[in-house]
Amino acid sequence: MTTAPRFRFAPSPTGFFHVGGARTALYNWALAQHLGGTFVLRIEDTDESRNSPEWTQGIIDALGWLGINSDSPQFEGPYFQSHNADKHIAAAHRLFEQGNAYWCDLTSEQIQERAKASGKQGYDGHSRDRGLSAGPGHVLRFRVPQGTTIVHDLVRGEVEFANDTIEDFVLLRSNGSPMFLLANVIDDIDMTVTHVVRAEEHLPNTPKQQMVWDALGVAPPIWAHVPVLVNEQRKKLSKRRDKVALEQYKSDGILADAMVNYLMTLGWAPHGDTEIVPWTTMVEQFRLEDVNHSPAFFDVKKLEAFNGDYIRALSLSDFIDACQPWLTASDVAWSPAQFDADVFESIASLIQTRVAVLSEVASMVDFFFLPDAPTDDASWTKAMTPEWAHDVLNECAREYATCDWNHDSLKLVLETIGTNRDLKLGKVQAPLRVAITGRTVGPPLFESIEFLGRQRTLSRIGVALQRLG
RNA sequence: GGCCCCAUCGUCUAGUGGCCUAGGACACCACCCUCUCAAGGUGGCGGCACGGGUUCGAAUCCCGUUGGGGCUGCCA
């Protein structure tokens, strides 16, 4: 008989949500969905010095954004490791009573000195047989048995560790609080976790944890260590150097689906020649055995390419909805009163193919809502330098005062002005574009002018003419 | 230093002994389309780290070398 598998995701609440953690969570979630199991969220807050309660809500929100919904019947938690301290301590004492652990009174300084003197690194097992009991300044250490420990890992195969290379690690701190290694195991046992899927950086901890499982008489879980995510220097993504906050990508305008899809392909690929596939397909196909063994570079460019794809796949109304946060943000160039939702809806389809991240939208449509064209000196210089610029704008102003107001005729007018001077539309449009939009690049000009209206168009041409002198 | 992991285009990957003169995607380049910029289309550039084996046959298996990475805390 097989019971439904139970996966767990066990982040520590140390600020924002790390993209590496996001991928690990996604792998666990995909597996839970694929196998009809449970995803258990456990907040590992044993290190009191660096946890903060508001961050756990951040974790839940971030998971929710990724589609790992805490309302789902397959979602369990959050549990807090700190709430289980009693169980951890009880287990530690049981380990002591069984002879699997012993007390030690050495300080870190003393350990270092001994290591220096012996020339060997780490703790040397000095207190193993000293028969110490609990007391102030005493830590409880696990008595690593002789022999070898074999970790059966679903992505790596069998990994063998000689136990004599593993030091007697600390279970309980001198203040009596449990260490991660212990707490982690006790919680996994307590929550009947069957699969531990986590990042590769935990692989060296695994034999230690497995020994604790064994000592407690419980069969260890199925392990799976997925490769870490690295930066361009091939170093593990770090909070200090790298942009790793999921929230940051969200506020830059990365779509959740794009992020999910991209993260899943870091270390794994869906079948076939397309890597942009719906979540349900990934759930169906994802297998731990197919996960790559080597670190994967978190490539923001590729993420944005995925995102552009997802943006273009949105229906127009979904796209418009998705843009709202960036149109109403506090740092936007226009005032709320100046914003015209109808205008935005009218031009949205022209914007949709032109952005890779949603935060780009604002600077692409600002000229519609600002009283005057935005100023961009580089664009101005580039477009207004030709000696014909002034005359073209002048003629434009005259013709646009009376011509039919639709993009076809607006275009035809400028085309004619250009033809008379032997200038292609691609060239003559430049001064007009900058006069109207402020920039040399942007959405299609004549549609934009049409939406802007005759009055404002004429006024902007006037302003530009004046500036040209 | 010690322990462990890893090694296919610049990057993410497909590939599990013959279908591989190694496929796709991102990036890059060119062309087409085109009012700018995108999007889209077409094409191109570019890789099995190296050396030994095993085998009729190796990107795929074994060994070694080299190169990367992770861990090495009374952090998680």
Nearest nt (C1') from A415 Cα: B35
The per-residue pLDDT for range A187-240, each reduced to its tens digit, is 999 999 999 999 999 999 999 999 999 999 999 999 999 999 999 999 999 888
Residue type, A395: E
Nucleotides of B under 7 A from a protein CB: 1-8, 10-16, 23-27, 35-40, 68-76
Q: Are A362 and A355 in contact (CB under 8 A)?
A: no
Question: Which residues of A have a catalytic role annotated?
Answer: 239
Here the tokens at position A133 are 């009991």
Query: Gap from A116 CA to B60 C1', in Å?
Result: 46
A457 vs A441: CA distance, rounded Å: 17
Q: How far apart are CA A469 and CA A461, in angstroms?
A: 12
- Kind plus residue range of the DSSP H or E element containing A35: helix A19-35
b/e per residue A268-277 (b: at least 16 CB within 10 A): bbbeeeeebb
Between CA A153 and C1' B62 the distance (Å) reads 22
pLDDT band, very low/low/confident/very high, at A291 (cuts 50, 70, 90)? very high
- Smallest CA–C1' separation from A291: which nucleotide? B13
d(CA A369, CA A366): 6
Distance in angstroms: CA A103, C1' B39: 68
| Contact between A189 and A145 (Cβ < 8 Å) | no
Closest alpha carbon to C1' of B12, residue: A266
- In angstroms, how far is the first alpha carbon of chain A from the final one? 87
More reliable by pLDDT, A265 or A2: A265
Interatomic CA distance for residues A308 and A315, integer angstroms: 13
Alpha-carbon distance A215 to A93, whole Å?
Answer: 12
Q: What pLDDT is recorded for position A49?
A: 52
Q: Protein A294 CA to nucleic acid B55 C1', in Å?
A: 28
Query: Which nucleotide lies at the shortest CA–C1' distance from A411?
Result: B35
Q: Which residue has the higher pLDDT, A2 or A156?
A: A156
Q: Which two tokens stand for residue A36?
A: 């009809």
Whether the Cβ atoms of residue A408 and residue A425 lie closer than 8 Å to each other: no
